[in-house]
Amino acid sequence: MNNEDEIKTMSSRLDNDPLYNVTSENHRLEEENSNLKRTVKFYQTELEKFRTPPYVVSEVISITADNQALVKLPNQSNFLVEISQEVTDLMPGDMVLNEQKSLIILGKVDMTKNFSVENYVVVSDKLDSSWTQIGGLTKEINKVKEVLEMPLLKPEMFREIGITPPKGVLLYGPPGTGKTMIAKALAAETNSTFIELVGSELVQKFIGEGAKLVKDLFEMARKKAPSIIFIDEIDSIASRRVELGTGGEREAQRTFMQLLGEIDGFNALDNVKIIAATNRLDTLDEAIIRPGRLERHIEVTMPDRDGRIEILEIHTKNMKTTKIDLKEIANQTENFTGAELKALTTEAGYFAIRDDRSKVSQKDFLSAIEVVVEKEEEDYQMLNHSYN
């Protein structure tokens, strides 16, 4: 037997070696296991964030001999409160975080760091987005173009005709359908600064400064104009509130009022526009969606078959594939959102990489459908499990 034959026999033995296969399968499972553990950890931390109630911010007036402190809340009322063991070196004039019910002092606040609007928003001057990267939302995009893009690009037309364009729009619809993409594309297509604020972050962490942050946010937008203010999860600031019992709710209400005031305050032909997004239209306070405010409401829907084909085209454009039939994939992904279709293309790529192939095949895409469906189910179960 010559050398080459020997190597061939060896390698075919290795391929068929059950022990070798078991080892690699074992390795794969271990990897999957650690991936899953990471996912669980991620959701646990996320959940923890939701469980953390908002803190109250107050100012220390004085400290008593038995280690209590007199503090002033944003609504000007004074309270004598306990100080947590962990807080040392407290001085009159310090800003502190208080637990919402007992008002116990939990920590000091670095005012310059925490409350500057820059720490709450994401600002981008040059976004790499465009209308062409969005699939299947032609109707929605056309509305945004007419309502916001036109006035930004050709304000003189509106002045001449003598009509006032809306100051902003509300995008609503299920998660992962392209709302954030639309806001970013509008900013990019109009060369505007994109300023993103996430509503839940504003109300969740610090009570007492939300209203000021909203004020600073609009000031920043005017300075950086033309600009698009994107308020994601608007429902967390602008929900109808049944009762205004706790301090937290009253504060959130103040933030909301400030937002309404800022929207009312600026001129519709100024080149600042607002896009707000929510998954929960039903809970929104009507004040925010009245004429003169976010008066246009655009529903961003789940993609239909043609939409899914377009989205798949976009996300496979830069992939190396064999001949693929996107129609067949679209037929089998009826309840997929844009985000899930994007995930599907990534998973398909992984199948090819694992097999050490340089092109992604139709079969890879079809197998990836299963993976995405399974992942969705797992995530769903994991979330449900953690809540119970």
Q: Is 180 in the site for Mg ion (CB under 5 A)?
A: yes
Binding residues for Mg ion, how many (CB under 5 A)? 2
The two structure tokens encoding residue 47: 């959940």
Smallest gap from residue 180 Cβ to Mg ion (A): 3
What residue 178 binds from Mg ion, ligand ATP, none (CB within 5 to 8 A, per partner kind)?
A: ligand ATP
CA 153/CA 190 separation, integer angstroms: 7
Q: Is 114 in the site for Mg ion (CB under 5 A)?
A: no
What residue 137 binds from ligand ATP, Mg ion, none (CB within 5 to 8 A, per partner kind)?
A: ligand ATP
> Closer CB to Mg ion, residue 179 or residue 296?
179
> Closer CB to Mg ion, residue 179 or residue 308?
179
The one-letter code for the residue type at 291 is P
Give the residue from 90, 102, 186, 93 showing the smallest Cα distance to 137. Answer: 186
Query: Radius of gyration over alpha carbons of the chain, in Å?
Result: 27
CA 15/CA 7 separation, integer angstroms: 12
Residue whose C-beta lies closest to ligand ATP: 338
- 95-98/105-108 β-pairing: antiparallel
Smallest gap from residue 372 Cβ to ligand ATP (A): 12
8 A C-beta contact, residue 136 and residue 338:
yes
What residue 255 binds from Mg ion, ligand ATP, none (CB within 5 to 8 A, per partner kind)?
A: none
Binding stretches for ligand ATP (CB under 6 A)? 134-137, 175-181, 279, 311, 314, 338-339, 342
Smallest gap from residue 242 Cβ to ligand ATP (A): 25
Give the residue from 134, 374, 168 showing the smallest Cα distance to 272. Answer: 168
Q: Is 279 in the site for Mg ion (CB under 5 A)?
A: no
8 A C-beta contact, residue 68 and residue 82:
yes
Smallest gap from residue 293 Cβ to ligand ATP (A): 21
- 296-299/168-172 β-pairing: parallel
From the list 20-28, 173-181, 186-194, 368-376, the region that binds Mg ion by CB under 5 A is: 173-181
CA 253/CA 239 separation, integer angstroms: 9
Contact residues toward Mg ion (CB under 5 A) are: 179-180
